[in-house]
A and B are shown apart, each in its own frame.
Chain A
Amino acid sequence: MTATASGMLRVEDLSIRFGGLMAIENMTFDVREGEVLSLIGPNGAGKTSAFNAITGYLRPARGEIFYRGRRLTGLRPNAIAARGVVRTFQKTSLFGDQSVLDNILIGLHLRSRQHPIAIILGLPSVTADERERKAAAWDILRFMALEARAQESGSALPYGEQRLLEVAIALAARPSLLLLDEPVSGMNPAEKVRFMATLARIRSEGITVLLVEHDMRTVMGVSDRIICLNQGRIIADGSPKEIQSHPEVIRAYLGERARRADG
């Protein structure tokens, strides 16, 4: 293990290949404890692939991923979640027709250890655990301001609240590092403002956030640091201000003609 002191999460020399296509090539970066780091870049830059590799949904062709000094590469998604690295998905992803409360209760899986035999025997420890879980679920609902929706079916919520519910499910798994994949896509401006406030509160809970997002206003508003990818490589790494004026970033987003227009 090398250079783990610099970051909470270390992605080292990561390469991902789909057939002949290099989705990510020799990518190395750190996520520091307590920060909000955003990955940006044009479509196909490899942002979601990096997410999938970190959370165990995709096996990298090469490279290692360490979390707090322990190797994540090769672990299954549930084992990675158990270490505190929890993600959301780009496409709205809920537990179907389950109620909002049940969605959260499922998310709380890692917080309780009910042995199957204890469950079948109906031991009091299980009942007590269930009571604690329900209380924890209501805490999360209040934190996300979704308590009024508790009994409604998750899939019947307005779109913006469905996306909040996804984050709530992830929070229920008690992450120390939360990976959000385009959380505000499809939200209206009011919902985006509400989401940014929620993200600030998540952060104040001491949760580190790695964000993939296309909405530049949101990215610039919430990030401490931004990494810009293009065609599977890191082209820039810096504060929002630095990224905004970085020539490579401008070129990646606007193409060659932008530079010609400049000069």
Chain B
Amino acid sequence: MSRWTWLLVFVLASIPLWVTSLYFLHILITTTIFIIAAMSLNLLLGFTGQLSLGHAAFFGIGAYASALSSLGFEIHLTDDLAIGIGPKPVWLAMLIGLIAAGLCGFAVGKIAFRVRGAYFVIVSISFAEVVRLVAVNWVELTQGPMALNNIPPLTLGVSGVFELSFARKPAYFHLVLAAAAVCYIVIRRLVNSQAGRAMIALRENEPLAASVGIDVTRYLVLASVISAAMAGLAGALYAHYVRIVDPDIFLFIYTVTMVIMVITGGKGTLAGPVVGGVVFGMLPEFLRAFAIAPELQWVLLGALMIVVVFLVPQGIVPAASSWWAHRGRPPAHPEPPVEALP
């Protein structure tokens, strides 16, 4: 890692030391969780070029699977036949959440990539809606709209000997920060590998990609699984942070939030969802200071979003990096050079 990366890690890790407002820390934590979800969406949308408009489903499945595993549950199949599991440690529950979302990503990937483009968008929306309806109506498992309450916080270590609790905000901020860093590194490794190049090739030119031996389905499903698992991790982190999960977690608005973060930040770039996530995760809070009425805050946010999309349609990160690359260079049509006298 370069010096600058270390500095960035140091500054980010020290945030709980100088940000004393717990409310602000809360905003930072939820923003970071959404950045993880946006990064996972970017793997599909930015690198393979598939728009998944049901991404909140994987987030929600991760949250529910993790919450249910940590609480334990029992389902009555018939009057005298019931299956269930007892409460599991939270770290294991989170892992279950990640795996459950990954498996759903596999299923959706297998089904949906037979239908590409607009059809994939429809399949992904339908999937999210079906999962939401299950969460609302399968009251025995999910408590429906009554929500899953008292979800335990994460603690690591051996009980009584050494315990590391993530119940408080500063500790939880470090946890989500670490998770975001791991996800970032995983995506960066993928993108700079054979697999990532295969994904980009599918986005750029699918027939040509197949002609050089790239297995289209394999790499689309791979992207879908990793993306879903990462979104599931974000969901699990969310569940054990807010410690209550209800079916609203599947709402379309959450997917839209992720899409906005990816598009404004710059899809298909590593830093794009991070920058987009920071901007559109924090902005509503800053706008609150300027807004006379709460409605105005959202009107301002919407207007800003439109401005960003108009000015830098390719996203903030690509625009900034191309500006950085061309700084100090002469403009496209320079003055003709003055002939030097002999």
In the complex, what distance in Å separates the CA atom of A122 from the CA atom of B192? 11
Q: How far is the CB of B331 from chain A (nearest CB, A)?
A: 19
Task: Pick 29 A–B contacts, CB within 8 A, sort by A.
Answer: A57-B207, A76-B210, A77-B210, A78-B210, A78-B213, A86-B213, A93-B207, A94-B204, A95-B200, A102-B200, A105-B197, A106-B197, A106-B214, A109-B194, A109-B197, A109-B198, A109-B212, A109-B214, A110-B212, A114-B195, A116-B190, A119-B193, A119-B194, A122-B189, A126-B189, A129-B194, A169-B208, A170-B211, A170-B212
Give B182-240 interface residues, CB cut-off 8 Å to A: 185-186, 189-190, 192-195, 197-198, 200-201, 204-205, 207-216, 222, 226
In the complex, what distance in Å separates the CA atom of A111 from the CA atom of B22? 53
With A78-B211, A93-B208 already in contact, 14 other A-B pairs whose C-beta atoms are closer than 8 Å: A76-B215, A81-B213, A94-B204, A94-B205, A95-B205, A102-B197, A102-B200, A110-B213, A114-B193, A119-B194, A119-B195, A130-B193, A172-B212, A173-B211
Taking CB atoms, residues of chain B closer than 8 Å to A106 are 197-198, 200-201, 209, 212, 214
| B192→A130 contact, CB < 8 A | yes
Number of interface residues of B (CB under 8 A): 26
Q: How far is the CB of A23 from chain B (nearest CB, A)?
A: 19
Taking CB atoms, residues of chain A closer than 8 Å to B214 are 78, 106, 109
Taking CB atoms, residues of chain A closer than 8 Å to B198 are 106, 109
Contact with B along A118-136 (1 / 0, CB 8 A): 0110100010011001000
Q: B205: nearest residue on chain A (CB-CB)?
A: A95
A114-B193, A122-B189, A130-B193 as given contacts; A95 in contact with B201, CB under 8 Å: yes
Taking CB atoms, residues of chain B closer than 8 Å to A102 are 197, 200
In the complex, what distance in Å separates the CA atom of A82 from the CA atom of B211? 9
Taking CB atoms, residues of chain A closer than 8 Å to B210 are 76-78, 81
In the complex, what distance in Å separates the CA atom of A172 from the CA atom of B211? 11
| A86→B212 contact, CB < 8 A | yes
A223 beta carbon closer than 8 Å to chain B: no
Q: A56: nearest residue on chain B (CB-CB)?
A: B210
Taking CB atoms, residues of chain B closer than 8 Å to A89 are 207-208, 211
Taking CB atoms, residues of chain B closer than 8 Å to A95 are 200-201, 204-205, 208-209
- Picked from B185, B190, B204, B222, the residue with its CB within 8 Å of the CB of A96 is B204
In the complex, what distance in Å separates the CA atom of A255 from the CA atom of B201? 44
- Picked from B189, B195, B213, the residue with its CB within 8 Å of the CB of A173 is B213
A78-B214, A120-B186 as given contacts; A112 in contact with B205, CB under 8 Å: no
Q: A82: nearest residue on chain B (CB-CB)?
A: B213
In the complex, what distance in Å separates the CA atom of A113 from the CA atom of B200? 17
Taking CB atoms, residues of chain B closer than 8 Å to A93 are 205, 207-208
Q: How far is the CB of B124 from chain A (nearest CB, A)?
A: 22
Give A79-108 interface residues, CB cut-off 8 Å to B: 81-82, 86-89, 93-98, 102, 105-107
Q: A102: nearest residue on chain B (CB-CB)?
A: B197
| B193→A126 contact, CB < 8 A | yes
In the complex, what distance in Å separates the CA atom of A97 from the CA atom of B214? 19
Contact with B along A201-242 (1 / 0, CB 8 A): 000000000000000000000000000000000000000000
Q: How far is the CB of B185 from chain A (nearest CB, A)?
A: 8
A95-B204, A116-B222, A120-B186 as given contacts; A86 in contact with B197, CB under 8 Å: no
Q: B208: nearest residue on chain A (CB-CB)?
A: A93
- What 4 A-B pairs come out closest when comparing CB atoms? A81-B213, A77-B210, A110-B213, A96-B204
A73 beta carbon closer than 8 Å to chain B: no
